[in-house]
Structure 1
């Protein structure tokens, strides 16, 4: 990997992990100055010192070149951010909110409670979030911009093979044991009574809100969306594209304070309250409730799957044919039940990439064997029932082109994308106003073209 690319990658990672500790110490910096200007964005000495203090807090070494490296990372980020604005790239606010929650959860775990976090930083949780939100927004926006720069880079099979032949053996990654899995999924029929019960509960909650109770209080108590429930159901500003369609349609048609009727989505049933609408985004609260299946329905799904498994074991039907005929999972039934790993873009899964229930069901199976029916979860965390079969087990091994083409392809593609990005970065440097304070102008930057 090119040194400048390493700097950029580590920078994105470090910035993504920037803690409120850095923001807290920023208030103690008494002397400040602009040390660089990139386009219309300034970089302050205090920002660099925040990063230095963060490195020390994490036990990372700090030496005479650290500040130069930090400044170069920040200048790369500013170029990306500037281009993101030009290209009207809207940051993924769902990611921003998710990272905010992860950060606060981390500090709560480290310090013992949310109250302890507030006492440590001498701010309310809402103020801490506000401090972090803007920087996280910029970070995610620059990450999206970097992805856009490289997204058109492609690689051919012949280029992948040529790259593999040139790779030193000791640079090939080790691949953990992997599984290729077939599945047949049954979703309980969600009997009308079960749906009725959920809707009745939501209607009751809606009436309580209309009668004066706080939506946020009821969301904390009753919502089955753990990510937003602890925030009183609040999602933060989202565009239409960040919300599933029925939810977006309802949310964007509300007036501030208005509560929707019951909305059904792939996640369950919701009632939604509009907090604020700004430009093409809305900030809403919601209460999510999911259908609870009666024990009889669960047993019906299990019996059905066990009968299918018996038929397959007796060669009455193939697994692929049974999946196409009986599975309720539209994503896998069309390809004979083969499960696709969306993280890796292949059909192979490592242990940690599987649902815990799925791994527990297949870990003792040999190739071709079929599990008994068991309860699992789908990608939206809804309860489903499955039988699985192990199509292939790949033992741990050093990556090779035959078994791990997708891995080699990914490494080769990333190398091309990095090379393309560096060329793009060099061009942007030439056409952008960049000024560096004399105290940093003598830095031995990894990339050329910073000092003009």
Structure 2
């Protein structure tokens, strides 16, 4: 929809029907994961090599996966992941899997999720199935402090206007969901970066509740969606008080409503134009439905 169409749509809304929006905020974040030290990595590798030896000696891969795998999705299923096609799993896992024959087991493989033992099950066309045992190296306070130091340095640079929050998020944040949007969290229900306070993650709400617009928190512990330990800083970009909808503050929402109406009108127009040439078959159990039978007349 064009800006003119958005304005025309809004101008036609009766004054007493214009919606009233509660307080909304825009919050940004920069996330840096805690680094895993070499000692923790070597411990995970050693444990997997021990499990590999036990499997080669005759123990069940599935049984050991149930006991030791840290993959919450597949561990209880004996490590079974199901069928996947090329490009659907992380590159390291896929590359190791495709080298195996049915029944064979890989050496220890590292990916972004941790360390794996992979057992190849079968191929079906262009799909293949595997099971795995996943171990995630433990992180500690010392590992998180490295991430905290980086974030403290970034925070100082942002507050001194040496770099914008959006640029810092794009260049340094590992959170793919927000880094490409200037670090701003998205409203998953309505789209855009403005979120009503009552829809905000409680962990964020209690932090930004006492913040002023433009302020940035010190680094804080954070657990990513895939369960990794990390540190992050939060930025309160804006705080929009309760208000009646208007084009200046709510253009994106009004634009979405105008677009929705335009789509519905186009669909209705197509239906009216083609209803005499498009035939519907009504199942016997719905022949008494007045809405359906009327639409077929």
TM-score (norm: length of structure 1): 0.53
| Distance of aligned partners of 1:326 and 1:431 in 2 relative to their CA distance in 1, 3 Å threshold | closer
Of 376, 393, 397, which aligns to 2:239?
393
SS of alignment partner, residue 254 of structure 2: helix
Q: Structure 1, unaligned stretches of length 5 or more?
A: 1-154
Partner of 1:295: 141
- Unaligned regions of 5+ residues in structure 2, if any? none
Alignment-derived partner of residue 349 in structure 1? 195
User: Are 2:281 and 1:434 aligned?
Assistant: yes
CA–CA distance in 2 between the matches of 1:252 and 1:419?
A: 51
Q: In 2 relative to 1, CA 241–310 (structure 1 residues): closer, same or farther, beyond 3 Å?
A: closer
C-alpha deviations, 1:185-238, integer Å up to 9, x for none?
Answer: 332333333322233333333333333333333333333332333333333333
Q: CA deviation at 1:385?
A: 0.6
Does the C-alpha gap of structure 1 residues 223 and 435 become closer, same or farther in structure 2, counting only changes over 3 Å?
Answer: same
The answer to whether the aligner puts 1:196 opposite 2:79 as a matched pair is: no
Moved more, 259-268 or 291-300: 259-268
Query: Secondary structure of 1:404's partner?
Result: helix
From the superposition, tell whether residues 206 and 312 of structure 1 become closer, same or farther in structure 2 (CA, over 3 Å): same
1:146 equivalent in structure 2: none
Shift, 1:329, TM fit? 3.0
2:143 and 2:292 mapped to 1: Cα distance? 63
Judge conservation of contact 2:29–2:185 (CA < 8 Å) in 1: no
C-alpha contact (below 8 Å) 1:188/1:301 kept by paired residues: yes
> How many Å apart are 1:265 and its aligned residue?
3.3
Q: Provide the C-alpha distance between the structure 2 equivalents of 1:406 and 1:227, rounded to a whole number of angstroms.
A: 38
Does the alignment pair 1:231 with 2:67? Answer: no
Q: CA deviation at 1:324?
A: 6.1
Structure 2: how far apart are the matches of 1:353 and 1:250?
A: 42
Change (3 A) 1:259 1:159: farther
CA displacement at 1:171 relative to structure 2: 5.2
Indicate the residue corresponding to 2:65 in structure 1: 219
- Conserved in 2, the CA contact under 8 Å of 1:244 and 1:265? yes
Change over 3 Å in CA distance of 1:405–1:316 after alignment to 2: closer
> What does residue 371 of structure 1 align with?
217
Q: Does the alignment pair 1:444 with 2:263? A: no
**Would the aligned equivalents of 2:23 and 2:240 in 1 still touch at CA under 8 Å?**
yes
Q: What SS class does the counterpart of residue 44 from structure 2 fall into?
A: helix
- Secondary structure of the residue aligned to 1:182 is strand
Name the structure where strand makes up a greater proportion of residues: 2
Structure with the larger helix share: 1
Whether 1:410 aligns to 2:256 is: yes
Greater alpha carbon shift after TM alignment, 390-399 vs 322-331: 322-331
- Following superposition, the deviation at residue 312 of structure 1 comes to 5.0
Q: Which residue pairs with 1:339 in the alignment?
A: 184
> Deviation of residue 418 (structure 1)?
4.5
Give the deviation of 1:430 after TM superposition: 5.9
Cα separation, 2, equivalents of 1:190 and 1:272: 22
The CA deviation at 1:172 is 5.0
Residue pair 2:23, 2:197 contacting (<8 A) in 1 also: yes
Alpha-carbon distance between aligned partners in 2 of 1:305 and 1:342, rounded to the nearest angstrom: 25
Determine the C-alpha separation between the residues in 1 that align with 2:17 and 2:95: 50
Asked if 2 retains the 8 angstrom alpha-carbon contact of 1:234 and 1:284, the reply is: yes
Counterparts of 1:26-425 in structure 2 under 5 Å?
A: 155-169=1-15, 172-240=18-86, 242-310=88-156, 313=159, 315=160, 317-320=162-165, 323=168, 327-329=172-174, 331=176, 337-341=182-186, 343=188, 344-351=190-197, 356-418=202-264, 423=270
Q: Distance in 1 between matches of 2:135 and 2:104?
A: 19
